[in-house]
C-alpha cells in the first residue's frame, strides 16, 4: 500500500515526541530518503509498513533507529573557525586566570555528533595552553545518536573528515595513522568523554560546566523546546562561564543571557 499523508504526519509527531526535532511538513521526501536504508535493513516494504510497526510500540531499538536516521550529523574539526579563535584569544585565557586555584576546567560539547568539536577543543587547549598541562580538564560530548557517540568514543576518522578543517600540524601531533583512518592519540582522548543524552531531558544534578558549546542543533527545535533546553543550560553553567551557539542561533530569553559580540562571533554569559 502506498504511504499516505497520515503515515508522514504520524512520523513527524513520532520524531518530535522523541527528539524534539521539527520536520518540515511540506517535505515528505525527506522521510523517504533518510529511512530508505533502514527499511531495507529491516526488510520492510515501505513507510506504511514502518508506521504500522511503530504504532505497535513493541520495538524500542526500531524507535531509536528511526529517530537517529532522521538526525543531521553534519560536523567538522574547528567548524566555523571564529568560535575557536574566540576561545583561544579571549574565553580560555580569562577562564584559566580565574581557575588558578581550582586547577580544573570542565566543558560540554552538546549535540557533539561524531566528536570533532570536542577533540578540536581538546587540541586547542593542549596546543595553545601548555601552562595548564597538569590541570584536570574534562570535555563531555553528548548526542542523542548512539552510533555517533560510539564513533566519537573510538576517536577514529576517515581521510575525508580529517581533510575538513584540521590543520596539518595538529594532525601530525594529535593523530596516528592506521590504514585509511586516523586515530586520536590516547592522551587527547583521555580529556574527552562521550555519552548518549537527549537535550530535551533534564540534565543530571550537579552537572556543571565552565563552558558550553551547543552549536547547530537549536534550529531543529520548536521555540518552546529551545527555551526549555536553554533554561537547563543556564542552570548547568558556572556563573562566570560562557555559552557558544551556532552562528545563526540565539537564545530566546535574553533576560537569562548577556550577549557579547566580538568582530566575528558571539557568545553568551549567564545573567
Ligand atoms: C548538525 S549536528 C551539529 C554537530 C556539532 N554541534 C557541530 O556544530 O558541528 C546536530 C546534532 O544534534 C543532534 N541532536 C538532534 N536532536 C538532539 C536532541 N534532542 N538531543 C541531543 N542531540 C540531538 C544530532 O544527532 C546531530 O548529531
Task: Delimit the domains of the chain by residue range.
Answer: 5-69, 82-270
Instruction: pLDDT band for 204, please (50, 70, 90 cuts).
Output: confident
111 CA distance to ligand 1 middle (Å): 4
112 CA distance to ligand 1 middle (Å): 6
Number of the ligand 1 atom closest to the C-alpha atom of 200: 19
CB-facing half-sphere around the CA of 112: CA atoms within 13 A: 33
Mean pLDDT within 94-109: 98
Residue 197 has pLDDT above 80, yes or no: yes
Mean pLDDT within 25-45: 94
Residue 195 has pLDDT above 90, yes or no: yes
1 CA distance to ligand 1 middle (Å): 34
**Ligand 1: does its nearest atom lie under 6 Å from the Cβ of 19?**
yes
181-192 residue pLDDT tens: 999 999 999 999
Residue 52 has pLDDT above 90, yes or no: yes
143 CA distance to ligand 1 middle (Å): 6
Share of the chain above pLDDT 90, in %: 90
Cell numbers placing 55? 504504532
Mean pLDDT within 126-137: 98
Mean pLDDT within 108-123: 98
**Ligand 1: does its nearest atom lie under 6 Å from the Cβ of 145?**
yes
**Ligand 1: does its nearest atom lie under 6 Å from the Cβ of 67?**
no
Instruction: pLDDT band for 168, please (50, 70, 90 cuts).
Output: very high
Which of 111, 119, 213 maximizes ligand 1 atoms within 8 Å of its Cβ, making it the mutation to test the pocket?
111
Residues near 243 by Cβ (< 8 Å), separated by ≥ 6?
211, 212, 213, 214, 233, 237, 251, 257, 267, 268, 269, 270
Which of residues 66 and 262 earns the better pLDDT score?
Answer: 66
Which of 34, 113, 150, 213 maximizes ligand 1 atoms within 8 Å of its Cβ, making it the mutation to test the pocket?
113
- What is the overall mean pLDDT for the chain? 95
Contact 45, 1 (CB under 8 A): no
**Ligand 1: does its nearest atom lie under 6 Å from the Cβ of 231?**
no
211-236 residue pLDDT tens: 999 999 999 999 999 999 999 999 99
Instruction: pLDDT band for 254, please (50, 70, 90 cuts).
Output: confident
Residue 263 has pLDDT above 80, yes or no: no
For ligand 1, atom 11, name the residue with the nearest CA.
111
Instruction: pLDDT band for 33, please (50, 70, 90 cuts).
Output: very high
Name the nearest CA neighbour of 246 among 90, 113, 67.
113
In angstroms, the CA 155 to CA 159 distance is 13
9 CA distance to ligand 1 middle (Å): 23
Using a 10 angstrom Cβ sphere, with 0-12 exposed, 13-18 middle and 19 or more buried, the burial of residue 171 is middle
243 CA distance to ligand 1 middle (Å): 16
Instruction: pLDDT band for 143, please (50, 70, 90 cuts).
Output: very high
Number of the ligand 1 atom closest to the C-alpha atom of 109: 6
pLDDT of residue 252: 79
pLDDT of residue 216: 97
**Ligand 1: does its nearest atom lie under 6 Å from the Cβ of 12?**
no
Residue 261 has pLDDT above 90, yes or no: no
pLDDT of residue 113: 98
- Please say whether the structural domain 82-270 has been given the CATH code 3.40.50.150: yes
Residue 199 has pLDDT above 90, yes or no: yes
Which of 84, 144, 165, 201 maximizes ligand 1 atoms within 8 Å of its Cβ, making it the mutation to test the pocket?
144
Amino acid at each position: 500500500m502506498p504511504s499516505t499523508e497520515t503515515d508522514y504526519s504520524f512520523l513527524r509527531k513520532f520524531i518530535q515526541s522523541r527528539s524534539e526535532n521539527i520536520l518540515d511538513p511540506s517535505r515528505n521526501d525527506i522521510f523517504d530518503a533518510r529511512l530508505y536504508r533502514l527499511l531495507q535493513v529491516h526488510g520492510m516494504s515501505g513507510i506504511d509498513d514502518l508506521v504500522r510497526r511503530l504504532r505497535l510500540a513493541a520495538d524500542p531499538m526500531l524507535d531509536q533507529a528511526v529517530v537517529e536516521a532522521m538526525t543531521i550529523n553534519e560536523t567538522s574539526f574547528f567548524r566555523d573557525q571564529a568560535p575557536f579563535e574566540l576561545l583561544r584569544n579571549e574565553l580560555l585565557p580569562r577562564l584559566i586566570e580565574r581557575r588558578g586555584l581550582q586547577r580544573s576546567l570542565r566543558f560540554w560539547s552538546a549535540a557533539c555528533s561524531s566528536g570533532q568539536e570536542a577533540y578540536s577543543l581538546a587540541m586547542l587547549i593542549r596546543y595553545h595552553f601548555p601552562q595548564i598541562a597538569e590541570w584536570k580538564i574534562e570535555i563531555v560530548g553528548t548526542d542523542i545518536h548512539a552510533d555517533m557517540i560510539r564513533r566519537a568514543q573510538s576517536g577514529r576518522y576517515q581521510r575525508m573528515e580529517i581533510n575538513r578543517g584540521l590543520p596539518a600540524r595538529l594532525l601530525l601531533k594529535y593523530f596516528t595513522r592506521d590504514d585509511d583512518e586516523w586515530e586520536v592519540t590516547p592522551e587527547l582522548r583521555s580529556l574527552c568523554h562521550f555519552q548518549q543524552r537527549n537535550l530535551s531531558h533534564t540534565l543530571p544534578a550537579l552537572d556543571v560546566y565552565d563552558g558550553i558549546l551547543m552549536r547547530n542543533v537549536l534550529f531543529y527545535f520548536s521555540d518552546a523546546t529551545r527555551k526549555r533546553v536553554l533554561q537547563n543550560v543556564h542552570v548547568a553553567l558556572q556563573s562566570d562561564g560562557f555559552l557558544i551557539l551556532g552562528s545563526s542561533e540565539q537564545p530566546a530569553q535574553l533576560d537569562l543571557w548577556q550577549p557579547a559580540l566580538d568582530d566575528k562571533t558571539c557568545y553568551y554569559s549567564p545573567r
